[in-house]
């Protein structure tokens, strides 16, 4: 049975976003260890081979990957905090329907590169979050029609 309360789905999507961000932050607890000589060489290159970037910045691929990992965690946790604030102010109005619609659209756009560039765990978590925001938008439309 489809729960027809848009706030329920928005709240679940917000919590899924927080859970995904917290699970993603586990990447920072321990560093993966190379399992063989080839991996050892790759890890060494990731950490120690530095490239001069525009503006004179000198960064390793590991540092860039760390930035993107931090960025994803920050995005997920920030989105969940904003969502938790919105849950208590959303009303069945046209403006709030647009807010829920924009959330569904942003998560649809976010799901595409997740599908193309990651692996099963983030894909499932992001897809579940996306589904909740889309269901929130679908059920919000039904609320507004009655």
Reported pTM = 0.85
Domain boundaries, the chain: 6-28+72-145
The encoded tokens of residue 24 equal: 């993603």
Q: What is the mean pLDDT of each run of 10 residues along the chain (146 residues)?
A: 79 96 90 91 93 91 92 95 90 84 94 94 96 93 56
């Amino acid at each position: 049975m489809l729960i027809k309360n848009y706030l329920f789905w928005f709240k679940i999507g917000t919590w899924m976003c927080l859970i995904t961000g917290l699970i993603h932050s586990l990447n920072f607890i321990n560093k993966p260890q190379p399992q063989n000589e080839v991996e050892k060489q790759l890890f060494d290159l990731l950490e120690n081979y530095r490239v001069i970037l525009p503006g004179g910045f000198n960064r390793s691929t590991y540092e860039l990957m760390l930035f993107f990992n931090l960025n994803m965690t920050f995005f997920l946790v920030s989105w969940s905090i904003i969502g938790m604030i919105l849950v208590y102010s959303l009303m069945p109005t046209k403006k709030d329907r647009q807010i829920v619609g924009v959330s569904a659209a942003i998560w649809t756009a976010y799901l595409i590169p997740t599908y193309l560039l990651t692996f099963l765990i983030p894909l499932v978590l992001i897809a579940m979050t996306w589904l909740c925001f889309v269901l929130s938008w679908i059920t919000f439309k039904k609320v507004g029609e009655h």
